[in-house]
């Protein structure tokens, strides 16, 4: 499985709270609403950094992790009409498209302890 990580910065003038709310309450459901998400996406996670004393201030406002079984599934998803016409146009409403940092990872889980 391939993990695609996208580091994103909110648009100018958008508060941190509005950015998080938009990402979680609007964009993520929109992303999941297209049939291609059900078919090709294996896992979809949105995260937002928390400022903690003793750690540097976050350089990005959000992290999106999307897991696909293959590059073919990734390419099919992102070239689909639904993604291009419904999801992609929404992205510029809350993050700076020209400042996205992307990583493709082959994730190896070393330990996964679920807290009850």
Average pLDDT over residues 18-40: 98
| pLDDT at residue 114 is higher than 90 | no
Domain carrying residue 37: 2-105
As a whole number of angstroms, the distance between CA 78 and CA 58 comes to: 28
Q: Is residue 32 part of a domain?
A: yes
pTM: 0.91
Q: Is residue 36 part of a domain?
A: yes
* CATH number (domain holding residue 101): 3.30.70.100
Q: Is residue 40 part of a domain?
A: yes
Residues 9 and 91 sit within 8 Å (Cβ to Cβ): no
Q: Is residue 116 part of a domain?
A: no
In this prediction, residue 116 carries a pLDDT of 63
Q: Is residue 28 part of a domain?
A: yes
pLDDT digits (tens, 9 = 90+) for 37-66: 999 999 999 999 999 999 999 999 999 999
pLDDT digits (tens, 9 = 90+) for 66-101: 999 999 999 999 999 999 999 999 999 999 999 999
In this prediction, residue 63 carries a pLDDT of 98
Q: Is residue 110 part of a domain?
A: no
Q: Is residue 74 part of a domain?
A: yes
| pLDDT at residue 19 is higher than 80 | yes
Total number of domains in the chain: 1
Strands 62-68 and 2-8: antiparallel
């Amino acid at each position: 499985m391939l993990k695609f990580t996208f580091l994103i910065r909110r648009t100018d003038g958008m508060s941190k709270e509005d950015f998080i709310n938009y990402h979680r309450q609007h964009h993520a459901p929109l992303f999941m609403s297209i049939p291609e998400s059900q078919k090709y996406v294996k896992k979809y996670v949105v995260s937002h950094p928390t400022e903690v004393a003793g750690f540097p201030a976050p350089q990005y406002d959000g992290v999106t992790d999307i897991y696909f079984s293959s590059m073919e599934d990734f390419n099919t998803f992102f070239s689909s009409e639904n993604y291009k016409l419904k999801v992609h146009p929404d992205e510029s409403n809350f993050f700076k498209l020209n400042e996205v940092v992307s990583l493709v990872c082959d994730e190896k889980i070393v330990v996964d302890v679920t807290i009850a």
